[in-house]
């Protein structure tokens, strides 16, 4: 496993991973409207870190750096449960300290994952897509 900044040649794999993961993660939404190009729009201006396993893009995290905000964190189907999401969060904590994110209320699996990593719900916002939690995680202690 290797975590590194994304490079332009990663774009096709990232687009595919993003589309596949959103379809899997948000079955209550109209996933027919999701497209490969959504990745470009949805990560514009963000810092993206990829995790590679044996040369294959297995997951990514995108950060809106001014606010240390995790906008996206996805791991491909074949790589889930291997600790890659945890490794990406750890990398983000090392780089940015305290982190925040939004987790959609209907996505209980993601909510449990983030809470297990130390994120706490700070607020809940209702919207047309089922609402979301605003969550934060403190910076890890210095060794």
Domain assignment present for residue 87? The answer is yes
Looking at the 3D structure of the chain, how many domains does it have?
1
What span, in angstroms and rounded, lies between the C-alpha atoms of 97 and 38? Answer: 28
> What DSSP string describes 116-133?
HTT-EEEEEE--TTS-EE
Domain assignment present for residue 90? The answer is yes
Structure confidence at residue 143 as a pLDDT band (50, 70, 90)? low
Provide the pLDDT for residue 139: 84
Please give the residue range of the domain that contains residue 64.
2-98
Domain assignment present for residue 111? The answer is no
Query: Do the Cβ atoms of 51 and 87 come closer than 8 Å?
Result: yes
Q: What is the pLDDT of residues 36-88, one digit of tens each?
A: 999 999 999 999 999 999 999 999 999 999 999 999 999 999 999 899 999 99
Q: Which candidate, 98, 95, 94, places its Cα nearest to that of 47?
A: 95
Sequence-distant (6+) residues with CB within 8 A of 99 are 68, 69, 70, 89, 92, 93, 119, 136, 137
Q: What is the pLDDT of residues 106-124, one digit of tens each?
A: 999 999 999 999 999 999 9
Domain assignment present for residue 89? The answer is yes
Provide the pLDDT for residue 142: 67
| pTM of this structure | 0.92
CATH code, domain carrying 27: 3.40.630.30
Domain assignment present for residue 132? The answer is no
Domain assignment present for residue 113? The answer is no
Q: What is the pLDDT of residues 2-39, one digit of tens each?
A: 999 999 999 999 999 999 999 988 888 888 899 999 99
């Amino acid at each position: 496993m290797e975590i590194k900044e994304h490079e332009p040649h990663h774009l096709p794999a990232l687009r595919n991973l993003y589309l596949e993961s959103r379809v899997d993660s948000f079955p209550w939404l109209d996933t027919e409207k999701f497209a490969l190009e959504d990745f470009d729009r949805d990560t514009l201006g963000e810092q993206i870190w990829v995790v590679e396993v044996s040369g294959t893009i297995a997951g990514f995290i995108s950060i809106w750096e001014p606010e240390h905000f995790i906008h996206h964190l996805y791991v491909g189907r074949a790589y889930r449960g291997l600790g890659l999401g945890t490794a990406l969060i750890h990398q983000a904590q090392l780089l940015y300290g305290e982190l925040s994110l939004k987790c959609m209320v209907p996505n209980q699996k993601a909510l449990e994952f983030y809470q297990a990593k130390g994120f706490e719900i700070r607020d809940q916002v209702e919207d047309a897509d089922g609402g979301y939690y605003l969550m934060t995680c403190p910076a890890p202690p210095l060794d």
